[in-house]
Amino acid sequence: MNIQGKRVLITGAAGFLGSHLCDRFIKEGCRVVGMDNLITGDLKNIEHLFKLENFEFYNHDVSKFVHVSGDVDYILHFASPASPIDYLKIPIQTLKVGSLGTHNLLGLAKAKGARILVASTSEVYGDPNVNPQPEEYWGNVNPVGPRGVYDEAKRFQEAITMAYHTFHGVETRIIRIFNTYGPRMRLNDGRVLPAFIGQALRGEPLTMFGDGSQTRAFCYVDDLVEGIYRLLLSDYVQPMNIGNPDEITIKEFGEEIIKLTGTNQELISKPLPTDDPKQRRPDITKAKAILGWEPKVGRAEGLKITYEYFKSLPQHIIEHKEF
């Protein structure tokens, strides 16, 4: 499908995923409007786009009324803290951007006749009792635990998005994103991959939470972006998982990072955070059947690219450990 010339609003544009989406839609010949309040993002991620005629940027908190003049064909709502460290530090903003922010963007989609895709998450499954997680699984979430601010905001986001589709006829898409990694993650965002690589680069021990038997499945960012693109242009309105089903324990993952970086440091155990999911792996049967999508980049290749990126950062960023 040719979407050349379409105008696309991307919220969270200065963040990890948002910045890669800006690149992709510019590459497709779209006019891209980026929006971000820079609470966890960095303008460096999109500075290469500022010179382009078909890129605009607005510094705005989308939890407040969102105004965009002119036509808008597509909206990709990716604004939200995404790392547990971030959303525990700014819990109210996290709840607001998932709820009020999503409401504002659905209102904008309705007013402009735009199609909107919202970024949901595997966290809607909480600490899942079934593995892998199919979209039909309703989840196991502690609403008042520390992670509840993120999980429940995203669950509300899905509910209001579906309501706008059903009651207002807005064209909506819901993607449930599983752990994704790649260049432009913040080295100090507290997520396991940047945490381990940052520690290796600084010559510190790698902090494994608990005994490291909990599992995750890591998807390389280019694969995710392709999945988002295909879902946006599909007719599918129910939530869809996108992620790489190659599941690994955190202990094994730490050992892979030690091997990759050649560090002489070891894994040390730190307390497991409250409600940390014990297992997570996407069931991608629907993505395969409906979008013809599956991940192409294996962990060995993706980790190598990501390590090269982190290694190339200025030393003061590598040394900056504060969240």
User: Where along the sequence are the contacts to ligand UDP (CB under 6 A)?
Assistant: 83-84, 179, 190-192, 195, 207-209, 214, 216, 250, 273, 276
Query: In whole angstroms, how close is the CB of 174 to ligand UDP at the nearest point?
Result: 19
Q: Is 172 in the site for ligand NAD (CB under 6 A)?
A: no
Q: Which is nearer to ligand NAD, 41 or 132 (CB)?
A: 41
Burial of 167 (0-12, 13-18, 19+ CB in 10 A): exposed
Q: Is 119 in the site for ligand NAD (CB under 6 A)?
A: yes
| Partner interacting with residue 15 (select from ligand NAD, ligand UDP, none; CB below 5-8 Å by kind) | ligand NAD
Q: At what angle do helices 16-27 and 221-232 cross, to 10 degrees?
A: 60
Q: Which is nearer to ligand NAD, 33 or 263 (CB)?
A: 33
Query: In whole angstroms, how close is the CB of 86 to ligand NAD at the nearest point?
Result: 6
DSSP per-residue letters across 96-128: HIIIIIHHHHHHHHHHHT-EEEEEEEGGGGBS-
What one-letter code names the amino acid at 26? I
Q: Using the rule CB under 6 A, which residue among 179, 188, 199, 214 binds ligand NAD?
A: 179
Query: In whole angstroms, how close is the CB of 208 to ligand UDP at the nearest point?
Result: 4
Q: Let me know if 150 is a catalytic residue.
A: yes
What one-letter code names the amino acid at 121? T
Segment interacting with ligand NAD (CB under 6 A) among 7-15, 50-58, 103-111, 247-255: 7-15
Q: How far apart are alpha carbons 161 and 36 in whole angstroms? A: 21
Q: Is 99 in the site for ligand NAD (CB under 6 A)?
A: no
Residue pointed to by tokens 């690149």: 23
Q: Which is nearer to ligand UDP, 107 or 190 (CB)?
A: 190
Task: Write b or e for each residue in 210-226: b if 16 or more Cβ atoms lie within 10 A of its Cβ, otherwise e.
Answer: eebebbbbbbbbbbbbb
Q: Is 121 in the site for ligand NAD (CB under 6 A)?
A: yes
Q: How far apart are alpha carbons 178 and 189 in whole angstroms? A: 17
Query: In whole angstroms, how close is the CB of 119 to ligand UDP at the nearest point?
Result: 14
Query: In whole angstroms, how close is the CB of 307 to ligand UDP at the nearest point?
Result: 16
Q: Is 36 in the site for ligand NAD (CB under 6 A)?
A: yes
Q: Is 63 in the site for ligand NAD (CB under 6 A)?
A: yes
DSSP per-residue letters across 275-310: T--S---B--HHIIIII-------HHHHHHHHHHHH
Q: Which residues lie below 8 Å from residue 74, measured CB to CB, with a gap of 6+? A: 3, 6, 7, 8, 9, 30, 114, 115, 116, 117, 232
Q: Is 157 in the site for ligand NAD (CB under 6 A)?
A: no
Query: In whole angstroms, how close is the CB of 267 to ligand UDP at the nearest point?
Result: 9
Tokens in use for 133? 């997680």
Q: Say if CB 79 and CB 12 are below 8 A apart.
A: yes
Q: Is 161 in the site for ligand NAD (CB under 6 A)?
A: no
Q: Is 180 in the site for ligand NAD (CB under 6 A)?
A: yes
Segment interacting with ligand NAD (CB under 6 A) among 76-84, 164-172, 247-255, 294-302: 76-84
Q: Which residues lie below 8 Å from residue 48, measured CB to CB, with a gap of 6+? A: none
Q: Please give the angle made by the CA atoms of 94, 142 and 116, to the nearest 5 degrees.
A: 45
Q: Is 17 in the site for ligand NAD (CB under 6 A)?
A: yes
Q: Which of 74, 87, 150, 164 is catalytic?
A: 150
Q: Please give the angle made by the CA atoms of 255, 322 and 13, to the nearest 5 degrees.
A: 90
Query: Which residues are the active-site residues?
Result: 150
* Residues binding ligand NAD (CB under 6 A): 11-12, 14-18, 36-41, 61-63, 78-82, 97, 101, 119, 121, 177, 179-180
